[in-house]
Structure 1
C-alpha cells in the first residue's frame, strides 16, 4: 500500500500534480482547462463538497426548509413550589379588601331643633318655661341686690355677665371657645371694677372706656391667630359682641338702684308671660302688659312712682328682644339655658340706666 494519498485513484489517468500541470483552482475560482488537454471531470462520488457544507447534516424528505411547520404554544412547566410562589405574588399585588362597614349606631333621641328641622317647621324655637323661670330668679336677685346696695348687686351681676359671655358664643356656633368666653367675661369684670372705682357719676366713661380697650385687645389677639381669614373675622365679631354685652350689663351697676329694682322685676314678669302657651302675637302683648303692670306695682314701692309703668314696659320690650335673639336658628338646649336666660336681662341694662336717670 502506497503512502501517497489517492495514489490508486489516479493510476492510468490524469494526475493534476504532474510537472507542468496546473493544480486545482483555489476556493471560489472556476476550474479552467488548458488548451490541448482534455477536461477532467471528477467522478460524482468524489466531488469536493463546499467547505461550509462539510459540516451540514443532510435530510431526506420534508424538512423545515420545504414545509412550514406550525409553531407550538410554549407552556412553561412550573413546579408546585413555583406555582405557589406566583399565587403568593398575585395575592400581594391585589388591593386590600375594604373592611366591612361598621353597624350603624342607634340614633340618640331627637332634640326639639332636629325635630323641627325634619318636620320643616320654623327655625325659631323659644327657650320655654324653664329658662324663663331661671331668668325670673336671676332678675329677682338683681332687684333685691340693687335694693340692698352696690356690693350686694355685684354678685348676681357677675353671674349674669358670665352666662351672657358663654351663651353668645354658643348661640353663634362657636364651641368650645374658652379663650373668647374668658376674654369677654374679663371685660365685664373690668368694667365693674372701673365703675366701682370711678363712681356712678363716671359710669359712661368707665363703661365706654373699657369697651374701647377690649375691642382693641380682641383685634390684636385675633390678628395673631393662625386661622384662615374668614374664621378670624367670625371669631373677631363674636368676641367683640360677647364682650360688649358683658360690659353693657354693667349698666345695672351704673343705673339708679330703684330703676334697677323696677326694671329687673318687669323683665322677670315679661319673660314668664312670654313663655305661656299662647299664640306669638298674643303672648307678646300679654308680656308687655305684664311688664308695665309690674313696673307700676314695684314703682309704687320705690321712688320711681308712676314712671314705673314706662320703665317696666321699656325693660319688658328689651327683654322680648333678647328672648327673640336666643330663639333664633334651631338653638340647642345649652343656648336656651345660657343665652335664653341672660340676654333678656343684659339687653335691658342700657334702658334702665338712661330712663332711670330721667325718671328718678
Structure 2
C-alpha cells in the first residue's frame, strides 16, 4: 500500500479507445468469395433482379468489429443445396403457391449449377436420348415404313434385274452393282454411322470382288466364288479395325457394321450365281411384294396381300420362263425375305436418306440368297 493516488494503466502505444474510428468494411471469407465468383459466372435470376449488396457501416464501439452481412443473392442456392442434401419427409400435398415461371426455372438451374456443376436446365427435356427412345417412353412405335416412293424404286430395280438376267451375266452386273452400292451406303446410315466413306467403300469393293469372281469362275463355281470373298473381307475388316486408334466401343461398333454391310453386298452376288429364270421370278416377286406392302392397309392385311401377290407373280413369270409351279415357291420365299429387309429399313425412326437407300435395296438384297438356293 502506498499513499500515491491511483493511476490507470496507460493504453497501448498507438491505440486510443476514444478516437473516432472509420466505418468498418465488410470482409469476405473464403466461402463468400467462392459464392461470389459462382454468382457472377452465369446469368441467374439473382444477378438480374437483385441489386449488388452494399456494405453496411458498423456501429461505433470501443473496438472495431467486422460486419458480415448475409448476401441476399445466395439465399436460394443455399436453401436448394440444403434441401437436396436433407430431403424433407413426404407431406400431404398442398396447393402450390403461384410463382413466376422464369424465377422458378432459373432458381433451379442456379441451384444445380452451384451444387453439382451441371449446366442449366433445358425446356426441351433430355437432349441425349434419341427419338426412338423417347417414342418408347411415350408408348409410341419407332417404326416408320419407307412408303410408296422407295417401293417404286425397288420395283424398278427389281424389274431391271428380272429383264437383264435372261440376256447375259454381264447385263445383269449393271443393276447388280447399283444394288450393292445402295446396300452398302444404306446399311451404314441405318446404323447411325455417317459419314463412313471407308466402310462403305470397303463393303462395296467386297461385292464387286464377288461379282468378278463369279464372272471368272462361272455359275457352277458360284458358291466358292461368293463364300471366298466373304471370308476374306471379314478378316480384312478385323485387321483394319484392330489398327484403328478409336476407343474400344467405337471400334467394336464399326467392326460389326462393316462386317454386316460387306456380307450383305457380297450376298447380293447370289443373283449372279443363280439360274437366270429364277432371278427373273424372284426379282419380279420382290417388286410386286414391296408395292403391295406400301399400300395404305393394316399391317396384317398388307403382309398377307404382299405374300399372295408375290406368289401370283412367281406363277406368272414362272410360266413364261419354264419354271412352272416352282415359281410360286421361289416368289413366296423371296417375298418373305423382302418383307424382312423392308422391316429392317423401317426400324428406329429412319431418315429420308435411309428410306431411299436401305429401304430400296434391302428387300432385294435379302431375297438374293433364297433365289440362289432355290434355283
Same fold judged by TM-score > 0.5? yes
Q: Deviations over 1:156-213 (max 9, x none)?
A: 1001000111111111111111111110000000000111111111101110000010
Alignment of 1:172-183 (within 5 A): 172-183=191-202
- Give secondary structure in 2 for the equivalent of 1:121: coil
Q: Partner residue of 2:360?
A: 341
Residues 94 and 319 (structure 1 numbering): CA distance in 2 closer, same or farther, change over 3 Å?
Answer: closer
Q: Does 1:143 align with 2:87?
A: no
- Distance (Å, rounded) in 1 between the aligned partners of 2:191 and 2:267: 19
Per the TM alignment, residue 74 of structure 1 is displaced from its structure 2 partner at its CA by 8.1
The structure 1 residue matched to 2:265, chosen from 242, 246, 253, is 246
- Distance (Å, rounded) in 2 between the aligned partners of 1:149 and 1:334: 32
Q: Partner residue of 2:316?
A: 297
**Residues paired across the two proteins, number:** 279
Q: Does 1:326 align with 2:345?
A: yes
Per the TM alignment, residue 152 of structure 1 is displaced from its structure 2 partner at its CA by 1.2
- Distance (Å, rounded) in 2 between the aligned partners of 1:119 and 1:131: 28
Q: Is the 8 A contact 1:166 1:338 kept in 2?
A: yes
Q: Deviations over 1:18-48 (max 9, x none)?
A: xxxxxxxxxxxxxxxxxxxxxxxxxxxxxxx
- Distance (Å, rounded) in 1 between the aligned partners of 2:150 and 2:20: 86
Per the TM alignment, residue 151 of structure 1 is displaced from its structure 2 partner at its CA by 1.2
Q: Is the 8 A contact 1:113 1:332 kept in 2?
A: no
The structure 2 residue matched to 1:204, chosen from 212, 223, 229, is 223
Per the TM alignment, residue 306 of structure 1 is displaced from its structure 2 partner at its CA by 1.8
Q: Greater relative contact order (Cα 8 A, min sep 6): structure 1 or 2?
A: 1
Per the TM alignment, residue 278 of structure 1 is displaced from its structure 2 partner at its CA by 1.1
- Distance (Å, rounded) in 1 between the aligned partners of 2:220 and 2:187: 30
Q: Partner residue of 1:161?
A: 180
Q: Does 1:194 align with 2:138?
A: no
Q: Is the 8 A contact 1:287 1:316 kept in 2?
A: yes
Gaps (5+ residues) in structure 1?
A: 1-60, 78-89, 107-111
The structure 2 residue matched to 1:256, chosen from 272, 275, 283, is 275
Alignment of 1:51-66 (within 5 A): 65=9
Q: Which runs of 4+ in 1 moved over 4 A?
A: 61-64, 66-70, 72-77, 93-97, 112-119
Per the TM alignment, residue 63 of structure 1 is displaced from its structure 2 partner at its CA by 7.0
Per the TM alignment, residue 66 of structure 1 is displaced from its structure 2 partner at its CA by 6.1
Q: Partner residue of 1:133?
A: 152
Residues 145 and 116 (structure 1 numbering): CA distance in 2 closer, same or farther, change over 3 Å?
Answer: farther
Q: Deviations over 1:100-119 (max 9, x none)?
A: 99xx9x9xxxxx97996686
Q: Does 1:308 align with 2:252?
A: no
- Give secondary structure in 2 for the equivalent of 1:305: coil
Please, which moves more after superposition, 145-154 or 285-294?
145-154
Alignment of 1:257-296 (within 5 A): 257-296=276-315
Alignment of 1:101-120 (within 5 A): 120=139
- Give secondary structure in 2 for the equivalent of 1:266: helix
Q: Partner residue of 2:142?
A: 123
Please, which moves more after superposition, 224-233 or 178-187?
224-233
TM-score (norm. length: structure 1) = 0.70
Q: Partner residue of 1:71?
A: 17
- Give secondary structure in 2 for the equivalent of 1:148: coil
TM-score (norm. length: structure 2) = 0.67
